[in-house]
Amino acid sequence: MLSPQEALITLNLIPGLGSMRIQALLEFFGSAELVLSAPEKMLAMVPRIGSKLAAAIADWRNCTNVQAELQCAADYGVRVVTLTDADYPDFLRRMSDPPIVLYVRGNWLNSDSDCSVAIVGTRQATPYGMTTARRFGRELADAGCTIISGLARGIDTAAHWGALDAGGRTLAVLGFGLAGMYPEENAELARCICDGHGAVVSEFPMHMRPSRTTFPQRNRIVAAWSRATLVVEAPTRSGSLHTASMAAADYGNSVFAIPGPINQFSSSGCHELIRDGATLCTSPRELMADMQWLQTHRQMELFPAPAEEKAAPVRQPVSGDDAVELLQAIQAGHDTLDKLCPVLGKGAHTITPLLMRLQIERRIIPLPGGRFSTRV
């Protein structure tokens, strides 16, 4: 006899069902256990099921093995959560087709959705796109936002690493099962996310391989779990535009797009979004201000209030061990924020204001490529 959770996982294991059809079955029969005990003819009466799927559901004992699936999840350190469980993410329950089962490494928090930003874009990102995505991921996470993306190559990868640079939170939603990793080089990124900085999540069975259909399914979760969607760099035919469209149309979320050179194909989708009404965005502060998060959420020194809003305090010269260590690190060749954070063992939210103060005092100078140099 299957438990209610095991019955839902079993339905999720049957090829071809998907969350919409499983929802229809649950509404028709009342529970997953009753679905699995229903005769084939009655199953075929449910809209969008048909005779082929009805036969597969009725034959579930031969085409699925829920105990093996749960053992596989345990072997990979994966927790399995179903739609009826108390710890299912509240923000995903608003979906018309919420994932029936979620496989998770790491942990999510319900507070992750309070100020959450999906950062998405092309896999074939330019250096401009990668640098911009990492900067936005770092500075938004540093200000308390949770960064949500899909762990794909390119913009997704840069956004996740940016959040980790700041020691912030990030959620990666996958288009395949957690027994594999695609791309393989992101295994270390996934490990870092799960090590106290968020979660790697999938709705697909453990050994499900990525396909053309799994990634669009993944995108709807990214759109639903976030309050704002930022497209950094994307051509006109891009899944990122589909994510942005769902975010706006299905969930009423704000969509932002970062412009690029007008002759750059990889930014043509962003320009299309801006023409269609997305908000043009050039800085993390702009996004935070438009979302009205500067006043309602913790405001870091990274986003200082403009002079007309807040009287500037009298600044004392930077001194002490922190400034000395920072200057010595820059002189030793650790001349970017990405290099300074691990060397000094401090987060970007600590180092960035110090860099700004030292620039104001003309003790360091900024160089192209986000580098710094001490004045001779």
**Burial annotation 333-362 (CB, 10 A radius, 16+ → b, else e):** ebbebebbbebbebbbbbbbebbbbbeeee
The pLDDT of residue 360 is 59
What does R_g of the chain's alpha carbons equal in angstroms? 23
Please write the tens of the pLDDT for every residue from 65-111.
Answer: 999 999 999 999 999 999 989 899 988 988 889 999 999 999 999 89
pLDDT per position as a tens digit, 341-355? 888 888 776 777 777
DSSP per position, 95-160: SSS--SEEEEEE---GGGGTTEEEEE--SS--HHHHHHHHHHHHHHHHTTPEEEE---TTHHHHHH
pTM of the model: 0.77
| Residue type at 289 in one-letter notation | A
Residue 307 has pLDDT above 90, yes or no: no
* pLDDT over 90 (residue 5): yes
Q: Are strands 228-231 and 254-257 parallel, antiparallel or unpaired?
A: parallel
User: In the chain, what are the domains?
Assistant: 1-64 (1.10.150.20), 106-296 (3.40.50.450), 321-374 (1.10.10.10)
> pLDDT of 47-74, one tens digit each?
999 999 999 999 999 999 999 999 999 9
120-173 per-position pLDDT tens digit: 999 999 999 999 999 999 999 999 999 999 999 999 999 999 999 999 999 999
Residue 308 above 90 pLDDT?
no
Confirm if 186 and 212 have CB atoms less than 8 A apart: no
